[in-house]
Structure 1
């Protein structure tokens, strides 16, 4: 009996393992074709099965967590873009409609109706029931799988609330961060002396940085990207495109915190490394050979990569010029604000000076005749009191700090 039980358990484990890796392969395929909803569903199933088989922090789960985090991040970006566009359309419809139409819209504006507006860009609530059903079912199912629960599709749809799109977007970013953090822990444990795992760890930090940019936690995003750059610099050639990509991402992150000098520096480094990459590829093409890493992609050609990088260079250069222009505009605005404050302070001082002069005469008239100090000394004392007024002309104009309120929660 024990032998049969053990063999039965082994068979179940083998079946679960095969199913998990099937879901993982399907998720990668969906991710490749940018079908992020299906990718999220497949990776969620793979993560659940692998964590049951090996444990939540097992080495076997690292790849699944990493891909699941990427899929969630891309899904959150897609939903954020769609909601941003539709938000403008709904405002215009509200402004053009009459009062009666607005009342009807408020009565029918359930969570299902909102999803219809997002998907169709129209007010037709009956034309996209299938898309609506998929959108409402996908997110709760994935989150429930992560939490180890199994709700039915109907239950997932019934738990609708107002502003459901925003809540799903926040939960996707939050869950993406959690999965990437788990992947980071697993890869860091395996990274010592392993170049491939180190490069995976660098990718995890880069994606964590991208999550930080999406959630507006810019300082943490910069720190994660710095770690990515350090790992890639230690494990890759200087002309590798991945290093240039990291410099570019860092430049964008620094520009969001108004550190324009550092942003320009990072973007310039990215441009320079891409130029070096072209030179390297041209030399490599003359030798009619490609390294083993490049041969891993069956569709790769040196000429194709040179064409891609050549097309990227003007975009990077334009971004550098835009950042320089933004720096000058910001500096001009700050100087204008400082000058305006000085003018206001000077005007305030002149008004206070006029009022102090009249009050000074009043004070002089009330001074007793026995006072030994001359009138001019008394007016001098009055001016000293005026200088103690709280209005000061030495206020400094500071930059508005970049908001760091996290959208993850």
Structure 2
């Protein structure tokens, strides 16, 4: 993923379209009001679990605001953030559906595999008899369509990148915390795509802003520590995973202590919300503690495995040295997430692509 954009941008680079006349001002007001309605509708779709409709509505709002104010205008921040968030959820749904479909595919035995190969050969012979010009045109069209198609995870990343840039350049607390949320979602995109190093950078940027602006008992802090713990675990950095899981527990316990004070002082029906939140937090703790145990166990297992490998390599012949070098090179390669396909400034495709509804059944 590319580096962060500069914190400030000139009016020229932002391509803003200010409203100068009273008629234009009315037009801007109409656009803003209509966009707010669309954002409200999109949020309702998310609450109801209709992610596809939410993405469609958010993209319409993004297109409307970008057309009126410019691609990276302040007015576009919320719409791009919500759209990126919804696209991330849609990508997760698609990945889940694909994973379930692959799990249901039976493995072919040798005889069936031979039959499939034969059918493919016959199909290739039939294709060879078709008109060559028609084949070339069809191939070109398919290639062009494939190049133009942008995955929802890629779209989510680009939307969130734009939102991050918009919020990051403003200095007030509310916008800085929104930038933190954009970083959080960018980190989740990184995890979903397998780019754990980038995900860790985004989560750490989020945590840095939250520590600056949030109280130590904020649940947002607990969530970010938890995401860092999970991602460090995926990256096999277990001591760091344990550290952040433990920090998440400390934040939750601090929050619970604060809630308990409110509950103790409450009378009658007062304190119902605090009691409900307390129950939620109590249910979260066992899962996080279990993840700490898993990380510690993985660390111990990894240490034993490393010692066995070390002893094996020590007794190996010198002829393996070149092979180990090649293996090291392969192991250091970052997982590909396709996030560098387009620059953040090129977002015209973001507000036009309509997502396809994922299959309900496979």
TM-score normalised according to structure 1 size: 0.64
Counterpart in 2 of 1:322? 294
Counterpart in 2 of 1:31? 46
Counterpart in 2 of 1:198? 176
C-alpha separation in 1, matches of 2:274 and 2:224: 22
Alpha-carbon distance change, 331 to 43 in structure 1, aligned in 2, over 3 angstroms: same
Shift of 1:19: 3.0
Shift of 1:7: 8.0
Structure 1, residues 87-111: CA drift from partner, whole Å, max 9, x if none?
121244x55995799589989xxxx
The answer to whether 1:73 aligns with 2:88 is: yes
Shift of 1:318: 0.2
Alignment of 1:2-401 (within 5 A): 13-92=28-107, 94=108, 98=112, 171-190=151-170, 192=171, 194-288=172-266, 301-345=273-317, 400-401=331-332
Alpha-carbon distance change, 401 to 329 in structure 1, aligned in 2, over 3 angstroms: farther
C-alpha separation in 2, matches of 1:13 and 1:105: 61
C-alpha separation in 2, matches of 1:105 and 1:60: 57
C-alpha separation in 2, matches of 1:330 and 1:407: 30
CA RMSD of aligned residues (A): 3.7
Structure with the larger RCO, 1 or 2 (CA within 8 Å, 6+ apart)? 2
C-alpha separation in 1, matches of 2:303 and 2:207: 30
Structure 1, residues 123-147: CA drift from partner, whole Å, max 9, x if none?
xxxxxxxxxxxxxxxxxxxxxxxxx
Structure 1 window deviating more from structure 2 (225-234 vs 16-25): it is 16-25
C-alpha separation in 1, matches of 2:240 and 2:232: 6
Counterpart in 1 of 2:4? none
Structure 1, residues 227-262: CA drift from partner, whole Å, max 9, x if none?
111111121111111111111111112122221111
C-alpha separation in 2, matches of 1:391 and 1:25: 62
Q: Which runs of 4+ in 1 moved over 4 A?
A: 6-15, 94-107, 389-392, 395-402
- Conserved in 2, the CA contact under 8 Å of 1:51 and 1:61? yes
C-alpha separation in 1, matches of 2:25 and 2:114: 66
- Conserved in 2, the CA contact under 8 Å of 1:256 and 1:402? no
Shift of 1:22: 2.0
C-alpha separation in 2, matches of 1:391 and 1:106: 41
SS of residue matched to 1:76: helix
TM-score normalised according to structure 2 size: 0.71
C-alpha separation in 2, matches of 1:223 and 1:9: 42
C-alpha separation in 1, matches of 2:86 and 2:110: 38
Alpha-carbon distance change, 58 to 331 in structure 1, aligned in 2, over 3 angstroms: same
Shift of 1:205: 0.8
SS of residue matched to 2:194: coil
C-alpha separation in 2, matches of 1:305 and 1:95: 54
Shift of 1:55: 1.4
Q: Which segments of 5 or more consecutive residues in structure 1 lack a partner in the other structure?
A: 1-5, 108-158, 290-294, 346-388
Alpha-carbon distance change, 7 to 259 in structure 1, aligned in 2, over 3 angstroms: closer
Alpha-carbon distance change, 237 to 342 in structure 1, aligned in 2, over 3 angstroms: same
C-alpha separation in 2, matches of 1:266 and 1:104: 55
Counterpart in 2 of 1:382? none
Larger radius of gyration: 1
Shift of 1:306: 0.6
